[in-house]
Amino acid sequence: MKKITPMMQQYLDIKEIYREYLLLYRMGDFYELFYDDAKTAAPVLNIILTRRGNDESEIPMCGIPHHSSMQYIQRLLEAGFKVAICEQLETPEEAKKRGGHKAVVRRDVVRIITPGTLLENNLIESKASNYIASLSAINDEISIAYADISTGEFNIMNTSQANILDTMLKLDIKEVLISNKLSAQEYVKPLLQVFKSSVSVLADSLFDFLKTFNRLKLHYNLYDDKKALDNFSRSDISSAGSLLEYVYNTQKAKVPSLNFPKKLRLDLYMKISSATLESLEIMPANKAKKNSVFDFFDNTVTAVGSRLLKSMFIRPLIDIEQISRRHDITEFFYNNQDLTAKIIDNIKGLPDFERILARVTTSKTNPHELRSFASGMLNFMNIHAGLDKINLPKDLKTQLQSIGTSAFGLAGNIVKAIKEDSPIVIKEGGFIAYGFDPICDKYLDLMNNAEEILANMLAKYKDLTKVPNLKIGYNENVGYYVEASPQAATKVDSTEGFRRKQTLVSCSRFITDELEVLEKDILQSKERLIAKECEIFASLCAEITEQSNSIYQISNFVAVLDVYSNLGHIASKYKYTRAKLNNEAKFELIGAVHPVISASLKGNEIFQDNDTSLNNEKRIGLITGPNMAGKSTYLKQNAIIALLNQVGSFVPAQNADLCVFDAIFSRIGAGDDILKGQSTFMVEMSETAKILHEATHKSLVIIDELGRGTATFDGMAIATATLEYIHNKIGAKCLFATHYHELAKLEESLNGLFNLTVLIEESNSQIEFLHKIILGSADKSYGIYVAKIAGIPSEIIEKSKAYLAQLEKDNGHIHVVNHENHANHLVDKYLMNLDIDNMSPRDALDELYKLKSMLMV
């Protein structure tokens, strides 16, 4: 067998350490993959699989260009793989100098790229957070630490076994870290099934309490602060420390700036599940779905603003005072539309400060981006100065005044240092502005004015030597030299500072110390210029890193400005109202509409507004009426308005007096959950069970058509019992739509329940659904009418009417008749009229012949 080469041995040694990753091994201008990695990657990347070697020991291989590697890496990540980047740590020339011509260039893994550790702009959705989460469980407490290393956000929360998956889904976690031991627990299996390759199962030692505790203390330099981690539990520290350790392991020496972990108290926020956000079309899990409530309200003009708005939507407030303070800021922008428009226009072009900061701290930025960062910072400085003169709402003013301004001076220095048309690639050089640094200026002058400098030097030498016909020349052997004729050589020889280098028949050549230095400077000017520019660039990046706290403050303030100016603009545009907040458990709306549907209507189309009144005395609205009449839209718009109010938005209504809900639960729609092997009815019952277990008297419950996934009487029984339980045991505010009209009788036995129905206008056999919700109950469903306008063939419509009449006459019993076979119909009728008990054998035989003749018709 052919002996393996030293380079391939180096590859195998590195691959042994990083077995679970696809190893991209740098060779010149390419990243190469070998063996099984190549076989795996080639079809995913749609590149050719080749072989290295010429015999039976040929090595499968494929490669991707270094300069465009990120687009290939993105495809590998999307296919569920994680990638280790192995770079050359020295040039081939440096390797030869170190160990001779057989020396192998030093290589090592400098970064591991996973879905949750991305920093590059082109790999991350600009308006979405890119969260990585770590799950830990100690002493029956479960903690989730999650961070976006591209923005510095770092949070910790506690959750229950039942809510682990929902928490991860709602946050749209891109990668989950979990210990080998915890992954074996039964309650974690749903998480593993849903997140699949996005789960990284790691050694238990990574989650060790002492190890994670020390990692946090070391990273945040807490050795002199004994109490910094006192507010965190052991599971909190394990989850946060393991996440931080993983970031170190993947980013190697270049770890991005991460804020100190913030402990989120979930009891301060409204509880709303990912399933509820989906069913109410507030924030669909399928990002391809458009026209969601969040999409409608997200008219933010900065990436950081969009990310903040999303966090507000998934975590609405429940403290009435904090909600009111949010409303104050929204109202400020609502009342000052000229200022709002100006602010929106001014912040529109601001860069994503916090994501640029992450790339600065990990050496992944470039001169072009740094110049953009600085220009944006100076633009914000002007915004800051303008707002400082305005009477802002208290919270906004306090935040503005707390911002450190030292970053503004740094930004001014960067704008002076870096040219506006800077290149993206640092190694190309040419990005430091002329006049900023004298050394750079010197090298630039040498590169641009070498001939002029040499001419000036020659004039000086002619004056020194008194030889008018001196020349300056250049060749590779001698370098730059002063040339004199044989007759003038003696004069040059006798002049101080000139040394004879060559004596030829036709001339003599001399050198000087000054000429040697100039030669070195001219020949190495570009190389030295790039080195000096890189030094200045690194220094500027270091200064930016030192201003991290100030930059985070600025970024957060930009996000707040963006979110509330956006909410104020939407409220003004669509004539929304600020809700009055109450502690009396009243949820009252006058003239409310669905924000998305009402805004989407064209021309003369009008969305029917509706009123809602829920309180402690009448807390359950039971809605009966036909499909397509607006019941589901009514349910959704009330839940959406409740959420918008607690987000901090004005609401789409003429008047609103709203209580604060601790949770919103919904059971709307049904579909098979094939992933979990659950039927439509099982999903329906599971979601209902969650409501019945978790809802409180301060919750809002929305239920649409409960029980439709099973037999009629089973469904009716379940719906009845559920209503009674919500009424008698939970006491939640509830809107309950049903096709079981029989449930309307519950109004007589449940004091807190009242009937609602949909207003319908009938005239000349025509039916019009007015989409108006009124007090009362429906006495029929108009299902056949709905079928008719949906396009069901008229023949089926007529048969349906006949069957319905028969059902109503016979108390639910239906006799199916085949009208296409008249003979069979006559036989049926004839047999029904026979008196078999009083018939003789002869009579029976006669009747049998009659039947035969009838069937032959």
The arithmetic mean of pLDDT across residues 249-269, rounded, is: 93
In a 10 Å sphere around its CB, with 0-12 CB exposed, 13-18 middle and 19+ buried, how is residue 187 labelled? middle
- Supply the pLDDT for residue 820: 47
Distance CA 486, CA 506 (A): 7
CA 744: distance to chain centroid? 44
d(CA 578, CA 655) in angstroms, rounded, equals 8
Please indicate whether residue 239 or residue 447 has the higher confidence score (pLDDT).
Answer: 239
Phi, psi of 437 (to 5 degrees): -135, 125
- Once rounded to an integer, what is the mean pLDDT over residues 426-449? 90
What pLDDT is recorded for position 814?
Answer: 45
The angle subtended at Cα 291 by Cα 286 and Cα 294, nearest 5°, is: 80
Kindly indicate the confidence band of residue 448, based on its pLDDT and cuts at 50, 70 and 90.
confident
Q: Is the pTM of this model over 0.95?
A: no
Both tokens assigned to 136 = 């830990």
What are the structural domains of the chain? 6-113 (3.40.1170.10), 129-264 (3.30.420.110), 298-435+536-571 (1.10.1420.10), 580-781 (3.40.50.300), 822-855 (no CATH)
In sequence order, the 6+-apart residues with CB closer than 8 A to the CB of 487 are none
For residues 126-134, average pLDDT:
96
The confidence score (pLDDT) of residue 855 equals 59
* C-alpha–C-alpha distance, residues 482 and 489, integer Å: 10
Q: For residue 284, what pLDDT is reported?
A: 82
What pLDDT score was predicted for residue 431? 94
Q: How far is it, in rounded angstroms, from Cα 159 to Cα 271? A: 12
Q: Residue 428 — left, alpha, or beta (φ > 0 → left; ψ -120 to 50 → alpha)?
A: alpha
Q: Is the pLDDT of residue 217 over 70?
A: yes
| Across 626-634, average pLDDT | 82
Average pLDDT of 494-512? Answer: 92
Single out the residue of 377, 303, 761, 291 nearest to residue 559, CA to CA: 303
Task: Determine the average pLDDT of the residues in 510-538.
Answer: 91
Quick one: pLDDT at residue 838?
A: 65
DSSP 359-405: HHHTT---HHHHHHHHHHHHHHHHHHHHHTTS---HHHHHHHHTS--
Give pLDDT tens digits for 20-33.
Answer: 999 999 999 999 99
Q: Is the confidence at residue 677, as pLDDT, over 60?
A: no
The pair phi, psi for residue 300, each rounded to 5°, is -60, 155
Q: Which residue has the higher pLDDT, 778 or 552?
A: 552
User: Average pLDDT for residues 159-167, to the nearest whole number?
Assistant: 94
Collect all residues with Cβ–Cβ distance below 8 Å to 787 and sequence separation of at least 6. 796, 797, 800
Structural tokens at position 604:
């003369």
pLDDT at residue 832 in the model? 65
| Strand order across the 655-658 sheet | 580-581, 655-658, 587-592, 610-614
Give the pLDDT confidence of 338-354 residue by residue, as tens digits: 999 999 999 999 999 99
User: How many Å from the N-terminal Cα to the C-terminal Cα in the chain?
Assistant: 91
The sign of the torsion formed by the CA atoms of 496, 500, 504, 505 equals positive
Banded model confidence at residue 840, pLDDT cuts 50, 70, 90: low
Is the pLDDT assigned to residue 757 strictly greater than 80? Answer: yes
Which is nearest to 220 in space by CA: 252, 259, 262?
259
Q: What sign does the dihedral 382-388-389-394 (CA atoms) show?
A: positive
Q: What is the CA radius of gyration of the chain?
A: 39
pLDDT for 809: 67
Q: Does the structure show a pLDDT above 60 at 676?
A: no
Cα separation of 616 and 535, whole Å? 69
pLDDT for 428: 81
pLDDT for position 672: 39
Q: So what's the pLDDT on residue 324?
A: 98
761-812 per-position pLDDT tens digit: 777 667 766 789 989 887 766 666 667 767 778 777 777 777 667 766 665 5
Can you tell me the distance from the alpha carbon of 681 to that of 676, in angstroms, rounded to the nearest whole number?
13
Query: C-alpha 130: how far from its chain's center?
Result: 5
Sign, CA dihedral 364-369-374-377, equals negative
What per-residue confidence (pLDDT) applies to 786?
A: 66
Is the pLDDT at 432 greater than 70, yes or no? yes
pLDDT of residue 675 exceeding 50 = no
Structure tokens of 471? 């020349």
- The pLDDT value recorded for residue 680 is 74
| Chain segment 60-89, per-residue pLDDT in tens | 999 999 989 999 999 999 999 999 999 999
What tokens appear for 490 in the block? 């003696």
Q: At what angle do helices 209-219 and 234-251 cross, to 10 degrees?
A: 60
Cβ burial, residue 563 (10 Å; 0-12/13-18/19+): buried
CA–centroid distance for 293 within its chain: 16
Tell which wins on pLDDT, 237 or 601: 237
3-class DSSP state of 731: coil
Question: In the prediction, which pLDDT does 540 show?
Answer: 96
> Rounded mean pLDDT of the chain?
89
φ, ψ dihedrals at 87, nearest 5°: -105, 160
User: What is the reported pLDDT for 852?
Assistant: 65
At 614-625, the pLDDT tens digits run 999 999 999 998
pLDDT at 1 over 60: no
- Partners of 665 in the β-ladder: 701
Confidence of residue 673 (pLDDT cuts 50, 70, 90): very low
What residue spans of 258-347 are helical by DSSP H? 274-279, 293-297, 303-314, 320-335, 337-347
Q: How far apart are CA 149 and CA 153, in angstroms?
A: 7
Q: Which pLDDT value is given to residue 817?
A: 46
pLDDT of residue 534: 95
Among the residue ranges 163-167, 173-177, 413-417, 804-808, the one predicted with the least confidence is 804-808
CB-based contacts of 316: which residues, under 8 Å, 6+ apart?
Answer: 269, 270, 272, 643, 646, 647
Q: Which residues pair with 23 in a beta bridge?
A: 84
Q: Residue 2 — pLDDT band, cuts 50, 70, 90?
A: low
Tokens of residue 384, six digits = 């800051």
Phi, psi of 174, rounded to the nearest 5 degrees: -90, -25
Residues 6+ apart with CB under 8 A from 49: 38, 39, 42, 60, 61, 62
